[in-house]
């Protein structure tokens, strides 16, 4: 039987991507069948483009063109570079789980220290038995592609009542140039548990690589969780990450993302408030320069009554960079007494910088308090002058004001050391523009 | 030696000429007072000296220690020793006062090729200065001027002046908004800084300030020019008879 071969925007046969990778993809025969099905969905849809409403501002066909071949497992030299990168990017005291070129690296990870506090498996192990992890609540072409191609990831099980004594840091390291990695992780936080999970994306020598990551996070009732994503990939990389989050009742979830790297990036998050009385804080910072394109798209779905959601987004856009913030708040018919607010502010540092801010409310209940706002503007000249009149050179004066601007989102991170780590990454971004 | 020489300065703001040929020379060690009605151009002059954008100098020049000040960026002027205590200091939310003070002081020192202050040395210096000016430590923990009362903002300006130790201090209505005790403390701070190498230009509407900071020379500004200069008794004369006699002269 002849299978019709879909073409990418530039006419190349994409099915090579799967055919050449298939032998290296982990999973039982039923998992492989599920992967093939997911890949067919991807082939049918192709990379998202601007005529698909959700991807209107991030046309991957135009921005990325083609998906690079699957990265090979890292060699000894790659692992050595990765070990150095771990040293440079590890957060002091955190338990590290390291993925190198899409493959879990046990020697660089703190599995032993973690074992007493959380259940841990790799995605690879999990897929030997079960294809459940390849299914997600929402799907689109990049999510289907991830399901088809995911090589590894971490599967964390934080038991009911567990109080993690240290944060868990998942570090994604790219050492292979001109290749793609596909990772998928699941984090289940039990009832009444308390955990901080950080995900860092960095390069170790690699350029022009592509990352497609998926995270499935479930937070049980009465839990207290911080999830912090720090995407600092190489400036010529592509990073597309999809997050699926379900929140139980009376929980506190603090969700943070900072984008400081990648030529093209998209973080799409789907957060469902599924239990009453929960408080969700979502904060995002895009720091973009050169011709970078950074898209943060988050859907917060109030499915039940009496939840609070607060979203604070800040974009700092230099040169000819392009920032996209799309925030949608959905309030389902039953979700009375929902309190949902979102504020998006963009700071344009150059005349050619571009910001597309799109806050959206879809409200189907009548007794709610929801609101959003979006602004875009330049640095305040009178403040800049005050600082310069006190001796600060232009760039340094700008840096102080930029730090203050993004500080409003970063200060939502409660842990002092973690906040300092995040500020450090933002400062390095600022130094790159000096 | 002349520290500041303003020669026949003409300045336009948004197509309107505000300073119409202003001349003023301030020598090292001198204290000058500038008085004049609202809108006569006192703040405009101070802004042009500090390098605020939006002012177009159409004629004349400003020399500082013999160098062309108008060629320098505002931060270079600050590093060379020009300090303006603003009439209306801005609030800068999110920038902690301490961080701002240290960054500014070290930027100036770096520009002059001096070593930067270490954190303990800096803290010691700030503590000394804030104590002598009666500025509570708690004010320094807040954002720059954020939520400060009018008087607190002025005190923060004098604090910066004492910290940066500039050679030319221009004080634009530092007395407005200060209560009597604060005024005396701030004036003491200014006087403490006064030295044979340093000059002060005090812009004020009130003779009272000049009882504390005693000027060598008083200038009357009207309609964008210095229309009269004299000794400190000129301030008393103005207090008694107002500006009407000078408006015609301009
Ligand atoms: N940015 C501006 N745009 C338009 N006009 C301006 C601007 N700045 C100053 N002016 C005008 O210039 C003139 C001088 O103003 P300036 O603030 O220098 O006066 P001043 O002597 O300091 O007054 P005051 O005693 O009230 O502080 C005023 O008529 C003012 O309206
Ligand atoms: Mg004035």
Determine the Cα–Cα distance for residues A85 and A104; give it in Å rounded to an integer.
15
Compute, in angstroms, the gap from residue B18 CA to the centroid of ligand 1.
Answer: 8
Name the residue with the closest Cα to ligand 1, atom 25: B38
CA A15/CA A20 separation, integer angstroms: 8
The percent of residues in chain A predicted with pLDDT above 70, rounded, is 97
User: How high is the pLDDT of residue A139?
Assistant: 87
Q: What is the pLDDT of residues A171-211, one digit of tens each?
A: 999 999 999 999 999 999 999 999 999 999 999 999 999 99
**Residue numbers in B near A387 (CB within 8 A):** 92, 100, 104
Give A113-181 as a DSSP string: HHHTTSEEEEHHHHHTT--GGG--SS--HHHHHHHHH--B-EEEEE-TT-B-SS-EEEEEEE-STT-EE
What number does the ligand 1 atom closest to the CA of B224 have?
14
Tell me the best of B40, B46, B84, B243 to mutate to test the pocket of ligand 1, counting ligand atoms within 8 Å of each CB and taking the most.
B40
If one residue of B39, B45, B53, B205 were mutated to test the ligand 1 pocket, choosing by the most ligand atoms within 8 A of its CB, it would be B39
Kindly state the tokens that stand for A84.
């150095």
- How confident is the model over A27-75, as pLDDT tens digits? 999 999 999 999 999 999 999 999 999 999 999 999 999 999 999 999 9
Beta carbons of A403 and B160 less than 8 Å apart = no
| Total residues belonging to chain A | 434
As residues whose CB is below 5 A from the ion ligand 2, the structure lists: B 42-43, 87
The confidence score (pLDDT) of residue A280 equals: 98
Mean pLDDT along residues A227-255: 98
Quote the percentage of chain A above a pLDDT of 90. Answer: 92
What pTM did the predictor assign? Answer: 0.92
Q: Which residue of A has its CA nearest to B46?
A: A389
- C-alpha–C-alpha distance, residues B176 and A38, integer Å: 72
Answer yes or no: is the ipTM higher than 0.85: yes
Give the 3-state DSSP-derived string for B211-224, with helices as H, strands as E and coil as C.
HHCCCCEEEEEECC
Q: Is A364 on the interface with B (CB under 8 A)?
A: no
Mean pLDDT of B153-175: 95
How many domains are there within chain B? 1
Least confident range from A146-155, B156-165, B239-248: namely B239-248
User: Residue B194 sits in which domain range?
Assistant: 2-249
Interface of A with B in 233-292 (CB under 8 A): none
Can you give the pLDDT at residue A10? 44
| pLDDT band, very low/low/confident/very high, at B248 (cuts 50, 70, 90) | low
Q: What CATH number does the domain containing B72 carry?
A: 3.40.50.300
Which H or E element spans position B100?
helix B97-111
Q: Is B222 in the pocket of ligand 1 (CB under 6 A)?
A: no
pLDDT value of position A5: 47
User: Which among B107, B113, B114, B164 is the top mutation candidate for probing chain A, defined by the most A β-carbons within 10 Å of its own β-carbon?
Assistant: B107
Regarding predicted confidence, which is higher, B55 or B139? B55
Q: Where are the beta strands (DSSP E) in A260-307?
A: 264-273, 279-288, 293-302
């Amino acid at each position: 039987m002849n299978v019709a071969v879909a073409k990418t925007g530039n006419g190349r046969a994409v099915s090579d991507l799967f055919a050449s990778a298939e032998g290296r993809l982990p999973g039982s025969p039923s998992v492989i069948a599920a992967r093939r099905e997911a890949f067919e969905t991807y082939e049918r849809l192709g990379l998202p483009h601007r005529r698909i409403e959700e991807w209107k501002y991030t046309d991957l066909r135009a921005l990325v063109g083609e998906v690079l071949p699957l990265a090979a497992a890292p060699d000894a030299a790659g692992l050595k570079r990765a070990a150095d990168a771990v040293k440079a990017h590890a957060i002091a005291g955190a338990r590290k789980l390291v993925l190198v070129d899409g493959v879990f690296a046990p020697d660089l990870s703190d599995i032993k220290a973690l074992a007493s506090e959380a259940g841990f498996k790799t995605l690879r192990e999990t897929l030997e038995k079960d294809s459940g992890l390849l299914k997600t609540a929402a799907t689109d072409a990049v999510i289907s592609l991830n399901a088809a191609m995911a090589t590894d990831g971490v599967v964390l099980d934080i038991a009911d009542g567990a109080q993690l004594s240290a944060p868990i840091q998942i570090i994604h390291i790219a050492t292979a140039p001109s290749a793609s990695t596909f990772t998928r992780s699941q984090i289940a936080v039990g009832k009444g548990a308390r955990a901080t999970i950080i995900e860092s994306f960095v390069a170790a020598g690699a350029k022009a690589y592509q990352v497609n990551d998926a995270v499935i996070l479930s937070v049980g009732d009465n839990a207290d969780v911080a999830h912090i994503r720090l995407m600092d990939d190489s400036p010529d990389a592509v990073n597309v990450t999809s997050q699926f989050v379900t929140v139980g009742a009376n929980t506190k979830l603090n969700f943070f993302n900072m984008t400081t790297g990648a030529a093209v990036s998209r973080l799409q998050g789907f957060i469902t408030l599924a239990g009453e009385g929960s408080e969700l804080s979502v904060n995002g910072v895009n720091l973009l320069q050169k011709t970078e394109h950074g898209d943060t798209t988050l859907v917060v779905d109030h499915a039940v009554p009496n939840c609070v959601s607060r979203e604070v987004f800040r974009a700092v856009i230099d040169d000819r960079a392009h920032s996209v913030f799309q925030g949608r708040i959905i309030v389902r018919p039953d979700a009375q007494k929902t309190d949902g607010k979102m504020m998006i502010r963009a700071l344009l540092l150059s005349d050619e910088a571009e910001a597309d801010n799109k806050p959206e409310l879809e409200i189907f209940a009548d007794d709610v308090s929801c609101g959003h706002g979006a602004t875009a503007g330049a640095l305040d000249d009178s403040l800049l002058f005050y600082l310069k009149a006190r001796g600060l050179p232009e760039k340094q004066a700008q840096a102080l004001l930029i730090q203050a601007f993004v500080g409003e989102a970063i200060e939502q991170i409660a842990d002092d050391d973690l906040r300092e780590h995040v500020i450090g990454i933002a400062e390095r971004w600022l130094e790159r523009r000096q | 030696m002349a520290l500041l020489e303003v020669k026949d300065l003409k300045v336009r703001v948004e197509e309107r000429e505000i300073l119409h040929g202003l001349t003023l020379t301030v020598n090292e060690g001198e204290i000058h007072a500038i008085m004049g009605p609202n809108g006569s151009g006192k703040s405009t002059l101070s802004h042009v000296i500090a390098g605020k954008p939006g002012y177009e100098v159409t004629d004349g020049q400003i020399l500082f220690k013999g160098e062309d000040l108008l060629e320098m960026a505002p931060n270079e002027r600050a590093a060379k020793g020009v300090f303006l205590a603003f009439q209306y200091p801005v609030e800068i939310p999110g920038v902690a006062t301490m961080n701002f003070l240290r960054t500014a002081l070290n930027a100036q020192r770096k520009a002059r090729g001096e070593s930067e202050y270490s954190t303990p040395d800096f803290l010691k210096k700030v503590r000394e200065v804030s104590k002598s000016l009666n500025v509570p430590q708690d004010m320094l923990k807040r954002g720059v001027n954020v939520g400060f009362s009018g008087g607190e903002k002025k005190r923060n300006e004098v604090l910066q002046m004492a910290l940066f130790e500039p050679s030319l201090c221009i004080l634009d209505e530092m007395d407005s908004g200060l209560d009597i005790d604060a005024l005396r403390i701030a004036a003491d701070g200014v006087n403490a800084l006064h030295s044979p190498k340093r000059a002060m230009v005090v812009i004020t509407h009130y003779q009272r300030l000049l009882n504390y900071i005693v000027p060598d020379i008083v200038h009357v500004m009207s309609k964008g020019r210095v229309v009269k200069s004299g000794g400190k008794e000129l301030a008393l004369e103005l207090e008694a008879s107002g500006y009407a006699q000078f408006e015609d002269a301009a």
